[in-house]
Amino acid sequence: MRVIVFPGVQNLPIYAAQAKGFFARRGLEVDVQFTPNSQVMREGLAKGTYDLTHAAVDNGIALVELAKADAVVLMGGDSSLNGLYVQPEIRSVAELRGKTVAVDAPDTAYAFQLYRMLELGGVQRHEVTVKVVGGVALRLEAMRRDKSVAATMMNLPYSVMADREGFRNLGMAVRALGAYQGTAAYAMRPWARANADAVVRYIQAYVEGLRWVKTPANKTEAVAFLVERLKLGDELASHCYDIFADPAGGFTADARLDVEGFKNVLRLRAELEGQWGGTPPSPEKYLDLSYYERALAGL
């Protein structure tokens, strides 16, 4: 199975399922590739270059609504764990007026989080310059190199790196916006239907990997996966693990989809882009959780 993801701590369940043999025991060979940005990911999924992704769920919505591709969401993941990070000298959202903000894509996912957090701070979207940079690793590097890149959304491990390098966190997305479905797994609906048994087995192995990762006794080994796969230092990887595994605010138990969080994703797209005439559709249009339900029933 060919899986495309952004680099980040959110992939820890996949790394565990690979290393501990959870995929192999179910007859699956999973090849994971990193994407530099959401456009590459979306196009690769739509063309069949990749079978499945774990990425911001709004990119799945964009596949359906903008690319007219028959994508379907299979399970959840996290609340994005995003914070609004700015250059050290900036102390409020209001100070971003007239400045440049960095995004992956200007019309999906975490860009919408950024626009709404700007609005809540009194800054309208047209009052900033939106610069398309790519995934969060590229955006952090852009802020390091160029002080004129004033702000972006960041999650693990790059948010912890930004904290340590003196960038300022003006607030976490979920605190500002409420429930939010961030990372989710999705695929093209015809492919999922044609490979239903493999999808179920994949979800089982993934959930088993997530349960293993969140077991405190496995922390040392899980941290080692982050060190190896993401080239992090031991202490940084350990800190990221603690945030990821935190029952209160980390990765969602068993990667269950947060329906209220998904509704909020749809609401942001409707309000900020005018999609669907401003009235979001029901989440069921984009979901098929039957694979997930079968998978958990078999664990």
User: 């390098």: which residue's tokens?
Assistant: 165
Alpha helix stretches (DSSP H) within 180-245: 189-194, 196-213, 219-230, 234-245
Burial of 23 by CB count in 10 Å (0-12 exposed, 13-18 middle, 19+ buried)?
A: buried
In contact, 140 and 154? CB cutoff 8 Å? yes
Give the mean pLDDT of 1-10: 96
Residue for token digits 């100070």? Answer: 95
What is the mean pLDDT of the segment spanning 94-115?
A: 96
Q: Does pLDDT of 249 surpass 90?
A: no
- Residue 152's H or E segment, with its range, is strand 149-154
User: Out of 127-131, 240-244, 248-252, 281-285, which region has the weakest mean confidence (pLDDT)?
Assistant: 248-252
Structure confidence by residue, pLDDT tens digits, 211-242: 999 999 999 999 999 999 999 999 999 999 99
pLDDT at residue 247 tops 90 = no
Strands 100-103 vs 149-154: parallel, antiparallel or unpaired: parallel
Please name the residue that has the structure tokens 């999808």.
Answer: 199
Side chain identity, residue 251: F
Please give the model's pTM, rounded to 2 decimal places. 0.94
Q: Which residue has the tokens 């409707």?
A: 270
* Average pLDDT value for residue range 157-172: 97
Q: pLDDT, tens digit, for every residue of 204-216? A: 999 999 999 999 9
Domains contained in the chain, CATH given: 2-79+180-297 (3.40.190.10), 83-177 (3.40.190.10)
d(CA 142, CA 149): 7
β-bridge pairing 52-56 and 83-86 = unpaired
List Cα–Cα distances, 296 to 193, 200, 249, 289, in angstroms: 18, 9, 22, 11
What is the identity of the amino acid at 185? Answer: A
> What's at 17, amino acid-wise?
A
Under DSSP, the state recorded for 48 is: T
Query: Which of 214-223's residues contact partners 24+ apart within 8 Å by CB, and which partners?
Result: 214/245, 214/247, 214/250, 214/251, 214/253, 216/245, 218/16, 219/245, 222/12, 222/16
CA distance 157 to 169: 14
Average pLDDT for residues 135-139, to the nearest whole number? Answer: 96
Q: What is the pLDDT of residue 292?
A: 98
Residue with tokens 């940079």: 133
Q: Mind listing the pLDDT tens digit for each residue in 8-46? A: 999 999 999 999 999 999 999 999 999 999 999 999 999
Kind plus residue range of the DSSP H or E element containing 158: helix 158-164
Q: What is the mean pLDDT of the chain?
A: 97
